[in-house]
Homo-oligomer: A and B are copies of this chain.
Amino acid sequence: MYTVLEKGGVCSPKGFKAAGICAGIKVSGNPDMALLKSEKAARCFAVFTTNKVKAAPVLYDKAVLEHAHFASAVIVNSGNANACTGPEGYADSERTAVLTEEVLGLTPKSVLVCSTGVIGHPLPMDKIEAGIPRLAEALHDDASEEFGRAILTTDLALKSIAVEIQTEKGPVRIGGACKGSGMIHPKMATMLAFITTDVGMPIDFFAEFRANISDSFNAITVDGDTSTNDTCIMLANGMSGINYSDMTLSEQGEFRAALELVMKHLAKCIVRDGEGATKLIELKIEKAESHEEALKMARFIGTSNLAKCAMFGEDPNWGRILSSAGSSECQMVAEHTDLYFGDVQVLAGGRPVDCDREKLHAVVRQKEYTVRLVLNIGNASASAFTCDLSYDYVKINAEYTT
């Protein structure tokens, strides 16, 4: 059994402290540096962007984690991505980590670095260097929100959650925070996500973690772009005194379900807060040949501007959904396909059915609803989450200054 904690976040599990400050990197004056620290070195799982253009902090973290699978802290800045900044950019990421290690009294290669913001500008190291000791001083164990706010860029809302799982040996917790907004697509986006837990995790749990990413952060799409900085890091410090491998099978199941909830919740928060988004749509592909094909098709439809404009216009435009599915290069047979908006069936065997238009319009006027495309060619299913495409998306992205 697990419960969602009120106002929970990365500091909810035992032994995690955090901080968020205004270091002056953002011209807006909003918080732009954050620190997350575990009392004990934590098992670290991390997944990074698949973009061939990788930002300096991604390259640095990958190099650090190649040798060890532990980390004690993560330092984050928003407002500057430190991407396309050459060897100097890499040196800046490294220097940020080393300074943090010195200030916190940690061993070398125990701090990871994340950056998000504009591309192609050198990291303002004077501000970063001044910020690190201030962050260290500000560290405290009730700072989930401060941390969660300092990692945001064009996000409008804090994205934070924590859950508690009851086990025979006592309670354990999972916390999380992320930032998203524009440039959100499957294979990660300008998305930074941080998961904490006080359970001791075995290294082979990484496969499970990766699978969860594919159904959560990689199943969301705002606009089909993948950024240079995407990162999802999980720290497991074992400070609850309880190890995953010592849990009963059913407790392990509970833990995995809770972790999935945390990751899907954060992923959906990102879509809901997509640039200009007014709606969150779950695109569910059912009775497909394989989970992989279903997920690919769901994600493909999730990037269709035509479908997304129709969602914004509250138009149950099944033709755009079906046409997009057909161009996804996934297996389907038009004549076998059924389609539902919420509970209202609009297509049967590839042809429109005479449905209740009033009921149908009521579905698409909702803030959140599900579109189910039933292929009837297999037994697999998968979902992707997308938002609509609105005037404000264009406005935000046309007016954003390089």
Contact = CB atoms under 8 A, between A and B. Distances in A.
Interface in A265-321: 303-306, 309-310, 312-313, 315-320
Given A334-B52, A350-B53, A351-B84, A397 B306 contact: yes
A327 B182 contact: no
A317 B182 contact: no
22 contacts: A52-B334, A53-B322, A53-B326, A84-B322, A84-B351, A86-B335, A223-B304, A224-B303, A224-B305, A225-B305, A225-B306, A226-B323, A306-B397, A309-B397, A309-B400, A310-B398, A312-B398, A313-B399, A317-B400, A390-B398, A391-B391, A391-B394
Contact of A305 (B226, B324, B393): B393
Given A51-B327, A52-B332, A309-B396, 8 more contacts: A51-B326, A119-B322, A225-B327, A226-B326, A309-B394, A390-B394, A391-B395, A394-B394
A323 B118 contact: no
Nearest to A187: B327
A333 to B, nearest CB: 8
Interface string A81-115: 00111100000000000000000000000000000
A381 interface: no
Given A183-B306, A323-B119, A327-B187, A84 B398 contact: no
Nearest to A119: B319
B53 A226 contact: no
A347 interface: yes
A302 to B, nearest CB: 12
Interface in A48-62: 50-54
B323 A398 contact: no
B323 A227 contact: yes
Given A84-B347, A309-B397, A402 B316 contact: yes
B334 A84 contact: yes
Interface of A: 50-54, 83-86, 118-120, 182-183, 185, 187, 223-228, 303-306, 309-310, 312-313, 315-320, 322-327, 332-335, 347, 349-352, 389-391, 393-402
Nearest to A53: B326
Nearest to A223: B305
Given A53-B323, A53-B334, A119-B323, A402 B318 contact: yes
Contact of A393 (B182, B309, B310, B322): B309
Given A51-B327, A352-B84, A315 B401 contact: yes
A267 to B, nearest CB: 18
A223 B316 CA distance: 19
Given A53-B350, A326-B51, A400 B312 contact: no
Nearest to A190: B323
A340 to B, nearest CB: 15
A83 B334 CA distance: 10
Contact of A389 (B313, B351, B390, B394): B394
A304 to B, nearest CB: 6
A327 B397 contact: no
Given A305-B397, A327-B52, A327-B225, A319 B84 contact: yes
Contacts of A389: 305, 394
B351 A182 contact: no
A323 B51 contact: yes
Nearest to A188: B327
* Max chain B Cβ within 10 angstroms of own Cβ: one of A84, A119, A315, A335: A84
Contacts of A395: 391
Contacts of A312: 394, 398
A396 B224 CA distance: 21
Contacts of A50: 327
Contact of A326 (B52, B183, B310, B326): B52
